With several copies, the nearest count.
Chain A
Amino acid sequence: MVVNTRVNIAGVVFVNPVIAASGTYGFGREYSDYVDLNKIGGISVKGLTLQPRLGNDTPRIAETPSGILNSVGLQNPGVDAFIRDEIPYLKQFDTKIIANIAGNTVSDYIEMAEKLDCTGIDILEVNVSCPNVKKGCLAFGTTMSGVAEVTKAVRKATKKPIMIKLTPNVSDIASIALSAEAEGADAVSLINTITGMVIDVNTRRPVLANNTGGLSGPAVRPVAVRMVHEVYKSVSIPVVGMGGICSAEDAIQFILAGASAIMVGTWNFNNPRACSDVAEGIKSYMEENSISDVSKLTGELIMNGD
């Protein structure tokens, strides 16, 4: 059976619904020895800031049961270097380019959006959910008004499709998503990491130099699937789902719950071919289950008791 794995998000057509998650895939080139970048739908690049950032002290990672905690703290070469050095490289491939931006202030977001507006990127992912920086970012993402403010400002600053990346560290993620939609977001992506801490009982100190970090990986998957479903039910813009995806089966959970596309993050560290393996696996699932179009699976969850 011929199956169509293409998905259209805010007018951008991805060859398949698998996108590499921001912060785990560098600028794509690092994985090019392992994955044919033409074979994955998109790449969300490392979170960018207006100025280059050195990030937090090390250690920046800890392994937890079925998860990891990271506190990279947005180390990146800055948006200008990204435009200069990375976009031309990525443009060689079919994969779509998602620029992930994180600001300390609303004007940071505006300035970055303006700089990226006339570049070759496909979607702007507005990160209001990084738990590892002291100022801005997550502070915006935990309230409806903060998300609305950033979304509105970025919406004005660019003609590119914008996707707001939401934090799970909230009581009601569906309302937060609604406030992004109301201010003109073309899509939302979720979940970013859940704030966590691991303590070394011998030194009596947190393992991470930054004390806390963001939890990701399979451990968070049930939480992420639930949140994707809540957001899907409340908004009418596309939802990009992530959190602990390791396999096609995991990806399909998110798609059934309402995701139009999914992202793979942490699992790239375990399996550098994770993104293309998941894409292949989705195709096989479609073939086995006679699903002609992957977008027909989105939201096809059947609730019990209905």
Chain B
Amino acid sequence: MNLNALVISNEILCKNNMLMRLFVPDIAAKAKPGQFLNIICSSDNKLILRRPISIMDADAEKGCVDIGYEIRGEGTMLLAEQKKGAKIDVMGPLGNGFCIDDNFSNIAIVGGGIGIYPLYFLAKSLGECNIDVFMGYQCAGKVILEDEFKTEGCNVYLSTDDGSRGHSGFITELFSKTYKPGRYDMIFVCGPEIMSRKVVLMVRSNGERSQVSLEERMGCGIGACLVCSCEVKTAEGIGRKTVCKDGPVFNGDIVFPEVD
């Protein structure tokens, strides 16, 4: 195993969610928003497959990368058990991240659940834009990064499925109330597929641009095994691209091709 990353901290962020800081200078130096790490979660290789986790923040100077993750199954559970000082095996930064244009001035960011993690690094990297962030959570107990986005000067719109914080219902509802064609130069999306699809299609139907980060189960994480295929529009009709290498971030114009 290539134990290249040192765990600097690994702490509870909110219910079932952890924030891990890694000392991994090579990756920190190269990381771009939207890229991810592919992590060996068990120290004894009990699990074969790596787990993809987005880069939530990177500090090239300090050599640190932050990840935020939810405990969902055995892999993330084992990751949560890693202690400060442990060394873990991490590949990255992998994939194509978000495209940031210096001319952006009005930006919307729409995120749901764990999809919010990579959007924080994005928001930090957007520079002097006006950013509206729409964030949907299951419940108040799972609200993450709210203050962090505010500190970055973002306008935060919040919803919870159960109404325990912010708007009661889906974040797509809140977004569609605010969104008007022409309002944003770019709309960045990351979250559950149903959410992403709704936002991307809404924007696309107005002929506007979006970038969306997709999730898919992975094998290699580097474009070799074609396990993580997703459908995209191509010149010839419907084609497939790899989420791990061509993505995870795709242009909103080409994803969800079956709908138009």
Residue numbers of A with Cβ under 8 A of B are 23-26, 30-31, 33-34, 46, 54-55, 58-63, 66-68, 70, 72, 75-76, 217-218, 266-273
Contact = CB atoms under 8 A, between A and B. Distances in A.
Contacts, number: 90
A158 B69 CA distance: 53
Interface string B1-19: 1100000000000000000
B128 interface: no
A74 B254 CA distance: 23
A218 B48 contact: yes
B224 A25 contact: yes
Given A268-B224, A271-B1, A75 B219 contact: no
Interface string B214-225: 001111111111
Contact of B219 (A24, A33, A76): A24
B45 A270 contact: yes
B227 to A, nearest CB: 5
A63 B49 contact: yes
Contact of B48 (A34, A54, A217): A217
B40 interface: yes
Contact of B220 (A24, A55, A58, A218): A24
Nearest to A216: B48
A26 B220 CA distance: 10
B19 to A, nearest CB: 25
Given A72-B227, A218-B48, A269 B240 contact: no
Contacts of B2: 271, 273
A272 B218 CA distance: 14
Nearest to B220: A269
B217 A72 contact: no
Nearest to A219: B48
B229 A55 contact: yes
Nearest to B217: A59
Q: Is the interface of A mostly helix, strand, loop or mixed?
A: loop
A60 B229 contact: yes
Instruction: Describe B's contact surface by its main secondary structure.
Output: loop
B21 interface: no
B239 interface: yes
Contacts of A270: 40, 45, 48-50
A269 B45 CA distance: 12
B197 interface: no
Nearest to B230: A58
Interface residues of B, number: 28
B226 A55 contact: yes
B49 A68 contact: yes
B91 interface: yes
Interface string B24-51: 0000000000000000100001011110
Determine which residue in B48, B229, B239 has the highest number of CB atoms from chain A within 10 A of its CB, and name it.
B48
Given A68-B219, A271-B2, A26 B45 contact: no
B224 A68 contact: no
8 contacts: A55-B226, A60-B228, A63-B48, A63-B49, A218-B48, A267-B48, A268-B224, A273-B2
A286 B222 CA distance: 32
A275 B229 CA distance: 24
Contact of A75 (B40, B221, B229): B229
A219 to B, nearest CB: 9
Contacts of A61: 49, 217-219, 227
A76 B1 CA distance: 30
Nearest to A64: B48
Nearest first, the 8 closest Cβ-Cβ pairs linking A and B are A26-B224, A30-B224, A59-B217, A75-B226, A61-B227, A30-B223, A60-B227, A269-B219
B1 to A, nearest CB: 7
Interface in B147-186: none
Contacts of A54: 229, 238-240
A34 B223 CA distance: 13
Nearest to A217: B48
Interface in B240-256: 240, 245
Contact of B222 (A31, A58, A273): A31
B240 to A, nearest CB: 5
A269 B217 contact: no
A63 B50 CA distance: 10
Most buried by B among A23, A31, A63: A63
A31 B224 contact: yes
A58 B217 contact: yes
Given A30-B223, A31-B222, A269 B229 contact: no
Contacts of B40: 270
A266 B48 contact: yes
A72 B226 contact: yes
Interface in B86-143: 91
Given A23-B226, A60-B229, 13 more contacts: A24-B219, A46-B226, A55-B226, A55-B229, A58-B217, A60-B226, A63-B47, A63-B48, A72-B226, A269-B48, A270-B45, A270-B49, A271-B1
Interface string B196-237: 000000000000000000001111111111111110000000
Contacts of B49: 61, 63, 68, 269-270
A273 B239 CA distance: 30
